[in-house]
Structure 1
Amino acid sequence: MYAWIWRRLPGAWHTKLAVAAAVALAIGLVLWNVVFPWVEPKVQFDHGVVTGTPSPSSSPGVP
């Protein structure tokens, strides 16, 4: 698949590399700024807080 895309890009190898990098950057920006914020409220993440009380090992002054 990547070979097919590489053959379809215009220009010499350095032009192809620049176009491929620009397309990858554009896709990353769209994912980061549009898709991920849209998906985040729909996905349940467990951030490790179950009861909200700290564990004994994280209390200050306790060896």
Structure 2
Amino acid sequence: MYGWIWRHLPGNVWVRALLSLLLVLLVVFLLFQYVFPWAEPLLPFNDVTVDEGRAGR
């Protein structure tokens, strides 16, 4: 997959490297802005249960 993307980017090696960096930054931005906030309520990270049987001893 990465080879396919690299071959289809225009320019020489330096232009391709810059464009690939920009693509990575765009993907990270989209993940943090749209995907992670959408998926957060679906994930069980806030369902924490503490056993009170040993807490008072």
- Please give the TM-score of this superposition, normalised by the length of structure 2: 0.76
2:50 pairs with 1:51: yes
Q: One-letter code of the match for 1:23?
A: L
Q: Tell me: higher relative CO, structure 1 or 2? Use CA pairs within 8 A at least 6 residues apart.
A: 2
Query: In proportion to residue count, which structure has more helix?
Result: 2
Correspondence for 2:3? 3
Q: One-letter code of the match for 1:10?
A: P
Greater mean deviation of Cα atoms: 16-25 or 37-46:
37-46
Q: Which secondary structure does the structure 1 equivalent of 2:44 belong to?
A: coil
Distance 2:34 2:51 in 1: 31
| Shift in CA distance, 15/39, structure 1 to aligned 2, threshold 3 Å | same
Number of aligned residue pairs: give it.
Answer: 55
Correspondence for 2:16? 16
| Percent identical residues | 35
Structure 2: give runs of 5+ residues left out of the alignment: none
Structure 1: give runs of 5+ residues left out of the alignment: 57-63
Root mean square deviation, CA, Å: 2.4
Q: Which secondary structure does the structure 2 equivalent of 1:22 belong to?
A: helix
Higher Rg: 1
